Amino acid sequence: MTTEPVLLTAVRSAVMTLTLNRPEVRNALSPELITALGTALTRLEDDNGIHVAVITGAGTAFCAGLDLTVFGAAEADTSSARALINRFGRLSKPVIGAVNGPAVTGGLELALGCDFLIGGPTAAFVDTHRTVGAFPGGGLSARLPRSVGIRTAKAMSLAGLRLDADSALRCGLLTEVVDAANLLPRTSELALATAETNQSYIRSVRKLYDENTDRSLAAALQAEHGEHRRWRDTQPRQWRR
């Protein structure tokens, strides 16, 4: 009997597609899946032929967070899961989420670490830390209010507010909502557009957006001016504009 891998990996046209493949448990993060994802992210970072990654889930869920059958005990070591989730958002290359269903707790934190998210009609975002007796450790309190606003973030974490696809689109958590059949093709289309762009440009603009979030407007404008000047000095003539 052949066992399906817990992570499906495919690379085409400089785009790596990662599919969490534990649909029977809503793609909950097990130690095996955490290890497989870590290996894939290292490949993404090290392989110059891969420029961007897409992450999605098999079946009806994006990711249900930690597999509580493994990590449910109070003394369970969740450090590997926290390290993996925190790795998203710190990668040197873009990651785009194709959110095919619920992203719950650790799955929500994983989604928040993506550069942007495309959602299907059943995409949903839920924080259940308060009900499972866990404390956020994957960047939730830092990234969620930056994505949806502090009041919506509080409602999600303190009262269990669930964002469906339309609500997430209105909040800015999702960039687009498309029908289920078009979710992966549309996300792959955007990933390919990113992969085919001058990668020095991608790195510079992505870095500016990430770092300017916490700067004053004046400091952000100054940072852009400095990066633009550096860009003009290092690029071929056709990019010196």
Query: For residue range 79-100, what is the model confidence (pLDDT) as tens digits?
Result: 888 899 999 989 999 999 999 9
- 12 lies in some domain: yes
**Whether 31 and 102 share a structural domain:** yes
Q: How many separate domains does the chain show?
A: 2
Annotate the chain with DSSP letters as a single string: -PPPPSEEEEEETTEEEEEE--GGGTT-B-HHHHHHHHHHHHHHHH-TT--EEEEEESTT-SB-SB-HHHH-STT---HHHHHHHHHTTS-SS-EEEEE-SEEETHHHHHHHTSSEEEE-TT-EEE--HHHHT----SSHHHHHHHHH-HHHHHHHHHH-PPEEHHHHHHHTS-SEE--GGGHHHHHHHHHHHHHTS-HHHHHHHHHHHHHHTTS-HHHHHHHHHHHHHHHHHHS-GGG--
pLDDT of 2: 57
User: CATH number of the domain that 83 lies in?
Assistant: 3.90.226.10
Region of poorest pLDDT, from 22-31, 67-76, 78-87, 125-134: 67-76
- 185 lies in some domain: yes
203: confidence class by pLDDT, cuts 50, 70, 90: very high
**Whether 37 and 79 share a structural domain:** yes
Query: For residue range 112-139, what is the model confidence (pLDDT) as tens digits?
Result: 999 999 999 999 999 998 888 788 888 9
Q: Are 139 and 112 in contact (CB under 8 A)?
A: yes
Residue 231 has pLDDT above 90, yes or no: no
Residue 241 has pLDDT above 60, yes or no: no
**Whether 122 and 214 share a structural domain:** no
**Whether 92 and 60 share a structural domain:** yes
pLDDT of 138: 85
Residue 209 has pLDDT above 80, yes or no: yes
**Whether 64 and 177 share a structural domain:** yes
Q: Are 6 and 33 in contact (CB under 8 A)?
A: yes
Residue 28 has pLDDT above 60, yes or no: yes
pLDDT of 121: 98
**Whether 205 and 220 share a structural domain:** yes
Dist. CA 119–CA 100, nearest whole Å: 6
- 231 lies in some domain: yes
**Whether 204 and 92 share a structural domain:** no
- 160 lies in some domain: yes
- 24 lies in some domain: yes
**Whether 32 and 117 share a structural domain:** yes
**Whether 13 and 118 share a structural domain:** yes
Region of poorest pLDDT, from 18-32, 84-98, 219-233: 219-233
- 88 or 174: whose pLDDT is higher? 174
Share of the chain above pLDDT 70, in %: 95
pLDDT of 76: 65
- 1 lies in some domain: no
Residue 235 has pLDDT above 80, yes or no: no
- 203 lies in some domain: yes
**Whether 70 and 164 share a structural domain:** yes
**Whether 25 and 51 share a structural domain:** yes
**Whether 175 and 220 share a structural domain:** no
Domain that holds residue 203: 199-239
- 2 lies in some domain: no
Nearest of 90, 29, 35 to residue 57 by alpha carbon: 29
User: Average model confidence (pLDDT) for the chain?
Assistant: 92
pTM as predicted? 0.93
